[in-house]
Structure 1
Amino acid sequence: IHLHVELNEEIPQVQVKVDLERAKKYGLKPGDVRRAASTLVAGEEVGDIFREGKAYDVNVWSVPRARTSLTDIENLLIDVPGGGHVRMKEVADIRIAPTPNVIKRENLARRLDVGANVQGRDLGAVMEDVEKALAEVSFPHEYHPELLGEHVERQKVKRGMYLFIFFSLLGIFLLLHTSFRSTRLATLSFLCLPMALVGGVLAAYFGSGIISLGSMVGFLTILGIAARNGIMMINHFQHLEQEEGMEFGPELVLRGAQERLAPILMTAATTGLALVPLVWAGNVPGHEIELPMAIVILGGLVTSTLLNLLVIPSLYLRFASAGHHRQAENIG
């Protein structure tokens, strides 16, 4: 929506297009013709003089009557290397053409901005459609399209974000392994973490349907909360068995889950309540990143809480028991 093209007001301007073959016949280069035309028509500053303590510019210019019309300009005389003169019309085509009054450049190239806003669709999907449409357009020689703006900056950030996610996941696994001192339990807890993201994915889908930079930050936050609660839950199971002497079994897991119920619920409740104002405010200017992040975290808190209270205790009872059986066989 709001498609707009940067338009410049055009003004008439004398254009001199050098005929290379004719200019070569007189020993003139294109630059020689253009410089001579510029000097005769527009003037050229060649120095300064000082009079009574003041500096004055010295300009070389043709007499006014020699540039009052296009015909006068065509008849201007240009010096040739071998001596003598040649009329400008004999080495160049001269015409009056509309020219932009302002020419913007970037990296020494002219540019013309075409802008638009996106509403109701993902910015990435819109940019893909734009790229496909531009691929079908045949541009004149030395013209090319270049996509700029938020999408390009977002792609740069995403590349850094993916690398950050990789090292974050690696760090989470190492922390789990260090905490549990067991590769089996660390792998179990790590593989459960994606289940905590289900609520965030559903919330993002029904919220705006767009996975934005703020949403990705929300997913990372959910991973951290789920990993923290999972570590606290499994460490408590180990504490009950190793420090309080409880026998491994359903009673240990049930007691551990009950005792960790309040801390996990309080974590989810306090985090959720802190994000409610952002969601309640809605998509207002300035909340383009915070709103999708808050929606994802709120949805992820639901599934991560259910994961830590229901799934992890059950999986711990199932897979940790296998480790106990092997230990018993080794002792026997």
Structure 2
Amino acid sequence: HSWITLGLAVLVLAGTIAAAPFMKTNFLGDSGQNTFTVTQNLGPAASLDSEDAAAAQVEDALIGIEGIDTVQVSIGSSGSALRDAFSGGGAGITYSITTDTDADQVALRERVQTELTELDDVGEIAVAGSGGGFGSSDVEIDVTAPDRTTLEQATADVVTSLQGAESIGQVTSNLSASLPYIAVVVDRDAAAARGLSEVAVGALVSNTMQPQSIGTVEIDDSALTVYLAASASPGSLDDLRALEVPTAAGPVRLDEIATVEETEGPTSITTQRGQRTSRVTVTPSTDDLNAASAAVTAALADLDLPTGADAEVGGVISQQTDAFTQLGIALLAAILIVYIVMVATFKSLRQPLLLLVSVPFAATGAILLQIATGVPLGVASLIGVLMLIGIVVTNAIVLVDLVNQYREKGMSAHDATIAGSARRLRPILMTASATIFALTPMALGITGHGGFISQPLAIVVIGGLISSTVLTLVVLPTLYNLVEGATQRRAMRRSGAASETDRDGSSSHGTGGDAEPSDATDSAYEGLPRATPVQQSRRTRREHGDG
């Protein structure tokens, strides 16, 4: 039933391909650490008292959540003393939270996000895991636009379209809020007519509004900086317009050479290649990055952005794509290296291809076990696939090597395959079982915080080893018997035709008598058990009649 066996094997591979879309995918997965951060933003103009009052409300809500041990609050700070030393602190409130080590960290963070969202008058709240940067699971969308108004509208449209979407949690943007400020726009023609430049007018206004450093003095071995301040700084918009600017023709009012008015603008501006940019950060509500990516892509496809604006998906999705591409190339290189080594070992180009049939069947168990356990496919899982290539091919090599030894001693391909498979069944099963049981603790996730890497790797290896071992012991001998048996039968037909030609030629030359067994036949059966010679005797019995 060789062809039936191969047909069933093809159906198994087809089912594996059909089951692949049901797998979850991620990048690195959650680290499981019992710390995370909550940030609260009341706006850039919030006072310290208002931030303190809002922080007390959030702090009380956090303490009341089961599973949270400690909450450390930093107001007017970024939460990092080193960062604050260089940046001078930051606006907003930061909560550093330590949780119970036995709690489900992902579920606890989702609960915190849900309960804090229900609070009123607390500003914008964002929950972030402890592993940011390279291990972050956030999807980032870069929005570009030619001007500030278009950028603000495009960013708001992107945030609105993503909020409430399936598989998407919180949505935030880094677009700075607009604050009021006084803009002084110099009329270049009017200033040039009075012998002034735009830079000179700007420096005069700046020196008037804030003290300027004019040098240092040494007092008691200490260097002190000396500042020069105007005797009377403008206290209102009208006072600034009436500011006297000295010129060659005499002092003139500032509003004669410049426009002074109150306007609004962002506290910071980010540009890329001459265009203003903002970043929208999307935190998935599930561990399936494929579902979150599909939701983001669908939302952006249905969004009608303003003219000149563009939105591009990045973040963990681009990191995952790059990592999967590189590991895919590594898998192909590993298969090629294994093939080259086997060609050198077996001195054949055909048999190593038969051995590599065990590699696709490793994917069957790996995919099915990941679907059954709900563990996503990530970088750690692909590293496990790399390990599988060497493990499953080893079992195939052990089997085929023994079959080749039997064939060298005169057995047919069919008999050698049956004998070799029977002899190698127990060692292959013992080797696979030992590896599976050794990886079981890792697959159960009892290895501590490193389980986010070790568990997917172990699950892939265990699943792939089970399927490849079972299918290799069935499919590989069948395929070997079909291919090598056909090759052997063709060789026997050619040798039979050649022998017939030789016998015809010998008869035509008058050569008679029985041919002696060839040395090739003797060497073919060397090492195999010899049959016991049949002992024959002949006895003649004669009967004598009477008389």
For the aligned pair, the TM-score class normalised by the smaller chain equals 0.7 to 0.9
Matched, 1:306 2:470: yes
Aligned in 2, Cα 1:261/1:96: closer, same or farther, shift over 3 Å?
same
Aligned in 2, Cα 1:15/1:283: closer, same or farther, shift over 3 Å?
farther
Q: Where in structure 2 are the equivalents of 1:1-332 lying within 5 Å?
A: 2-3=169-170, 5=172, 14-19=181-186, 22-27=187-192, 30-50=198-218, 53-63=221-231, 65-79=232-246, 84-90=250-256, 91-95=258-262, 97=264, 100=267, 114-120=280-286, 122-131=288-297, 133-134=299-300, 136=303, 138=305, 149-208=315-374, 210-242=376-408, 245-281=409-445, 286-329=450-493, 331=495, 332=498
- How far is the alpha carbon of 1:192 from its aligned partner? 4.3
CA displacement, residues 77-97 of structure 1 (integer Å, 9 cap, x when unaligned): 3455x6544433341333275
How does the TM-score come out when normalised to structure 1?
0.80
The CA distance in 1 between the partners of 2:444 and 2:458, in whole Å, is 10
How does the TM-score come out when normalised to structure 2?
0.51
The CA distance in 1 between the partners of 2:227 and 2:241, in whole Å, is 22
Instruction: Check conservation: 2:407, 2:413, Cα contact below 8 A.
Output: no
Q: Report the AA paired with residue 25 of structure 1.
A: A
The CA distance in 2 between the partners of 1:7 and 1:292, in whole Å, is 34
The CA distance in 1 between the partners of 2:364 and 2:487, in whole Å, is 29
Unpaired runs of 5+ residues, structure 1, are none
The CA distance in 2 between the partners of 1:43 and 1:148, in whole Å, is 45
SS of the residue corresponding to residue 66 of structure 1 reads coil
Instruction: Check conservation: 2:242, 2:253, Cα contact below 8 A.
Output: yes
The CA distance in 1 between the partners of 2:398 and 2:198, in whole Å, is 79
The CA distance in 1 between the partners of 2:205 and 2:331, in whole Å, is 62
Instruction: Check conservation: 1:49, 1:55, Cα contact below 8 A.
Output: yes
After TM superposition, the structure 1 stretch with the greater mean CA deviation from structure 2, 156-165 or 311-320, is 156-165
SS of the residue corresponding to residue 300 of structure 1 reads helix
- How far is the alpha carbon of 1:9 from its aligned partner? 9.9
The CA distance in 2 between the partners of 1:297 and 1:315, in whole Å, is 24
- How far is the alpha carbon of 1:233 from its aligned partner? 1.0
Instruction: Check conservation: 1:74, 1:88, Cα contact below 8 A.
Output: yes
SS of the residue corresponding to residue 67 of structure 1 reads coil
Aligned in 2, Cα 1:121/1:10: closer, same or farther, shift over 3 Å?
closer
- How far is the alpha carbon of 1:173 from its aligned partner? 1.7
- How far is the alpha carbon of 1:61 from its aligned partner? 2.8
SS of the residue corresponding to residue 89 of structure 1 reads helix
Instruction: Check conservation: 1:105, 1:111, Cα contact below 8 A.
Output: yes
Instruction: Check conservation: 1:16, 1:34, Cα contact below 8 A.
Output: no
The CA distance in 1 between the partners of 2:418 and 2:199, in whole Å, is 90
Alpha-carbon RMSD: 3.6
Unpaired runs of 5+ residues, structure 2, are 1-167, 499-547
**How many residues are paired up?**
323
SS of the residue corresponding to residue 26 of structure 1 reads helix
Q: Report the AA paired with residue 188 of structure 2.
A: A
CA displacement, residues 164-223 of structure 1 (integer Å, 9 cap, x when unaligned): 122112112212222222212122222442123211122223333743222222222222
- How far is the alpha carbon of 1:7 from its aligned partner? 7.6
Aligned in 2, Cα 1:254/1:2: closer, same or farther, shift over 3 Å?
same
- How far is the alpha carbon of 1:39 from its aligned partner? 1.9
Q: Report the AA paired with residue 297 of structure 1.
A: V
CA displacement, residues 9-63 of structure 1 (integer Å, 9 cap, x when unaligned): 97966432425xx233312555444433322112322333445654332333322
Aligned in 2, Cα 1:237/1:86: closer, same or farther, shift over 3 Å?
farther
- How far is the alpha carbon of 1:247 from its aligned partner? 1.0
The CA distance in 2 between the partners of 1:225 and 1:201, in whole Å, is 17
Aligned in 2, Cα 1:87/1:234: closer, same or farther, shift over 3 Å?
farther
